[in-house]
Amino acid sequence: MDSHSSIYVAGHRGLVGAAICRSLTKAGYTNILTQSHAELELTNQAAVQEYFADVQPEYVFLSAAKVGGIHANDTFPADFIRDNLLIQTNVIDAAYQNKAKKLLFLGSSCIYPRLCPQPMKEEYLLTGPLEITNEWYAIAKIAGIKMCQAYRKQYGFNAISLMPTNLYGPGDNFDLENSHVLPALMLKCHNAKKNGDAQMTVWGTGKALREFLHVDDLADASVFLMESCDDSEPVNIGSGREISIGDLAHLVANVVGFKGEIVFNTEMPDGTPRKLLDSSKLNTLGWHSHITLEQGLIQTYQWFLENQEIIRS
């Protein structure tokens, strides 16, 4: 890419897409193309083809997706597999058909088997059963990886796939029904503090281990790999650091200022016992994360406090 390349960011209003736009702008790229959901419905094949034929983007960041936590995945499995398959199929095919130079597809660490050896290497994909609570989303994302590989193999289309770990940051979805664990914990702590509650309840045992990456780190890695990587195999994007949900809950409470007791509802599911990506491939290419979890939580909570009018909660 050069500074004037036409770059389409699909899903620019989402957590990841917005961060990619920030990163591109910071890096000096001036021709960033975006379309809101109202302007372009990515599940509509004809609309996507028409947009690509009209705009002819040279580079595509495919960050648009239907996302959510355990509850959302378990409640709306058909929505998760259908919408994600439609979005990625339409965008990848339109990018190829309209001669885009390169496409970057964003997957998820949930593509790996539930009881995957840790840390999870890229080659562990499809070596065991998936976590049942989000298999619909995971299967769609695996299909996206394979579609990128198939279009490269059959057509020579330069499509790469990134597998980020659990993300958080400004613009996250703070919704107790549909959000991921970290923003849900932050909202719970905030509400408990505001209401003067003596206790706050967290799903599961608190023993599950998770790795978290600030979304600005992911965006920085995405731009780095769009500029430097042409590998057909997926690339893990992680921080290399993990924390138990229990310790995370106490860390979030400390950042938010909630002083009450944290109680764990052990009747609710933990999800995958442990999820830590092996990001050595990415590190070898020359990229490392730089935002610590505590720094990121402080920044994210500040954004939360400053954006109460627009926040999804």
Position 247 scores a pLDDT of 98
11 is in an annotated binding site: yes
Q: Does 271 appear as a known binding residue?
A: no
**Where does the chain have alpha helices with state H?**
15-26, 45-55, 70-75, 77-97, 135-155, 181-195, 215-228, 245-256, 280-285, 293-306
CA 232 to CA 246: how far, in whole Å?
Answer: 37
Q: 120: which DSSP letter?
A: B
Catalytic residue, from 137, 155, 168, 301: name it. Answer: 137
Within a 10 A sphere around the Cβ of 96, how many other Cβ atoms? 22
Please check if 108 is assigned to a binding site.
yes
Q: Is 155 a catalytic residue?
A: no
Q: Give the model's pLDDT for residue 180.
A: 81
From the list 44, 41, 42, 4, the residue with the least C-alpha distance to 24 is: 4
**What confidence score (pLDDT) does residue 228 get?**
94
126 is in an annotated binding site: no
Phi-psi map region of 206: left, alpha, beta (phi>0 left; psi -120 to 50 alpha): left
Q: What is the pLDDT of residue 69?
A: 73
Residue 68: predicted pLDDT: 79
Per-residue pLDDT reduced to its tens digit, 15-28: 999 999 999 999 99
pLDDT at 312: 54
Tell me the pLDDT tens digit for each residue of 90-131: 999 999 999 999 999 999 998 999 889 999 999 999 999 998
- Is 188 one of the annotated binding-site residues? yes
What's the confidence (pLDDT) of residue 249? 97
Low-confidence ranges of the chain (pLDDT < 70): 178, 312-313
pLDDT of 313 reads 47
Domains, the chain, ordered by start: 7-306 (3.40.50.720)
